[in-house]
Amino acid sequence: MPFAILGLADDLVRAVAAQGYTTPTPIQAQAIPVILAGRDLLAAAQTGTGKTAAFTLPLLQRLDIRREGRLLPPGRPRALVVTPTRELAAQIVESVRVYGRHLAPRTALLVGGVSMKPQFDALRRGVDVLVATPGRLLDHISQKTVNLSNVEILVLDEADRMLDLGFLPAIRRLLALLPKRRQTLLFSATFAEPIRQLSGDFMNDPAVIDVAPRNAPADLVDQQVHPVDQDRKAALLSHLLSAGERDATLVFTRTKHGADRLSRQLERDGIRTAALHGNKSQSARTRALDDFKQGRIQVLVATDIAARGLDIVQLPRVVNYELPHVPEDYVHRIGRTGRAGCTGLAVSLVSEDETSRLHTIQRLLGRTLPSSVVEGFAPSPVRRSPTAPASAAPGARRHHPQRGSSSGERSGSSSSRRPAGSGGAAGDSSQRRTYHQTRRVTTAGGR
């Protein structure tokens, strides 16, 4: 169906058409009428499925922004969007600007890692839509530059990721400051029990939409496993990056220090590389991401904080330099490629100590991933294929993967040219803690 049939105003339909979109994605087709009707909504949809437009478009319409001579009180937003990562927050603000081009909404972006002064200035001018990460929003509230008493619509985006990053106490503090009469929209990649509990605490009879097939990686992603000794991973990665097509490649490590170390190694091998993680300043992260998008660097080495929300058009290749501790994150990682009808390649370099993690990922996916040894990089001593079932090795020890890492980061997306506009590669460093003890191993896949 065309966007006009969903009940959107002509100004919004024109803005969508100007971006080249005519047909809504499944999450947009289902969510937009529900939001326009004023209902609370609990929606399961991965980044890259069009969910940002799914809430941005109806949000703009419900706020009835284009009113002559309207005056907005300083620091009192009418709509609040809370998201776990800085880059995702910035992309949501851009979506509000693009789709609200004929309405001229006033927006403010509150994220950490940058000066608060420009944020003070934006708040003083009055705000229709405030987009923020939890830590920086609480900073402003403590300084009394933000008051949430006028919020009509609340959006929690990537709710599962905020729980993973330990933002639950911050979210509960924010909820206590909001008016009880409001519309609440919660978007998550999964309906795991912590999400259901959270929604039951503060939502009013929400409509429930689940458009994501469980545990399904992108349909167009070719997945490959290369067994290799741990101490030869960097050499194998350099070999793969230098051979054949030198495609733009997003490489995932488990820790910030590991990302920096690998980035330096690749640079020494003559491969243009940058690292992206939470210890980098906001300006450094923005520069690295822009250099990657513009082709000035070939490789972006990132922690799991970048697994959801990186807005990279037609990313051809993802490499798991290290497998994630939690198998769900594998699905989110490889979902950065194979988007918008383009094929993608996801390569995992798997050492002996990661075999159990690979088995867990394969159980989640419900299939065995193809494995091949790259010539010259055969692991030593000879061992069974890492894709073989754990029970195939008599006497092999079986253990569960760790559910977190004190030295790592986790989070998670690219959005191609569709009205999705969501992403994130680095979040506020404050108030993080491991949340995996209460998280069930379930996931929702999607494009």
pLDDT (0 to 100) of residue 418: 40
Q: Give the tens place of pLDDT for each residue, 128-157.
A: 999 999 999 999 999 999 999 999 999 999
For 328-354, how does the pLDDT look when each residue is reduced to its tens digit (9 = 90+)?
Answer: 788 878 877 876 667 789 999 999 999
Shared domain check, 113 and 226 = no
| Domain match, 395 and 324 both | yes
Domain count, the chain: 2
- Write down the pLDDT at residue 77: 96
Question: Is 424 a domain residue?
Answer: no
pTM of the model: 0.65
Instruction: Let me know if residue 244 belongs to a domain.
Output: yes
Q: How many H-runs (helices) and E-runs (strands) does the chain carry?
A: 14, 13
Residues 143 and 259 in one domain: no
In this structure, are 309 and 410 located in the same domain?
yes
Q: Do residues 42 and 186 lie in contact, with contact meaning Cβ atoms separated by under 8 Å?
A: yes
Cβ atoms within 10 Å, residue 37: 13
Residue 207 in this model has a pLDDT that exceeds 70: yes
Residue 192 shares a structural domain with residue 228? no
Q: What is the mean pLDDT of residues 403-415?
A: 36
Q: Is the pLDDT of residue 20 over 50?
A: yes
Domain boundary among 210, 238, 270: 210
Six-digit token string for 442: 């379930």
**Both 188 and 44 in a single domain?**
yes
Of the candidates 157, 136, 137, 155, which has an alpha carbon nearest to the alpha carbon of residue 147? Answer: 137
Q: Which residues contact 25 (CB under 8 A, 6 or more apart)?
A: 49, 50, 54, 418, 419, 420
**What is the predicted pLDDT for the residue at 229?**
96
pLDDT band at 258 (very low <50, low <70, confident <90, very high): very high
Residue 369 or 68, more confident: 369
Question: Please, are residues 294 and 239 in contact by the beta-carbon 8 Å criterion?
Answer: no
* 215 falls within a domain: no
Return the pLDDT at 186.
96
According to the model, what pLDDT value does residue 409 have?
38
Closest CA to 437 of 189, 166, 254: 166
- Please tell me the least confidently modeled range out of 53-57, 130-134, 388-392, 438-442: 438-442
Could you count the other beta carbons within 10 Å of the beta carbon of residue 341? 10
Q: Is the pLDDT of residue 393 over 80?
A: no
Tell me: do 142 and 48 sit in the same domain. yes
**Quick one: 17 and 150 in the same domain?**
yes
Q: pLDDT-derived band of residue 198, with 50, 70 and 90 as boundaries?
A: confident
Please tell me whether residues 171 and 41 are part of one structural domain: yes
List the domain range (segments joined by +) for residue 379.
Answer: 221-415
The reply to whether 437 falls in a domain is no
Label residue 213 by pLDDT band (50, 70, 90).
low
In a domain, 404, yes or no: yes
Q: Is the pLDDT of residue 200 over 80?
A: yes
Q: What percent of the chain has pLDDT over 70?
A: 79
Q: How confident is the model at residue 172 (pLDDT cuts 50, 70, 90)?
A: very high
Residue 274 within any structural domain of the chain? yes
CA distance 118 to 108: 9
Instruction: State whether 333 and 248 are in the same domain.
Output: yes
Same domain, 171 and 244: no
Q: What is the mean pLDDT of residues 305-333?
A: 80
Q: Of 184-188, 299-303, 387-391, 402-406, which range is least confident?
A: 402-406
Residue 251's domain is classified under what CATH number?
3.40.50.300
Is the domain of 230 the same as that of 128? no
Residue 52 has pLDDT above 90, yes or no: yes
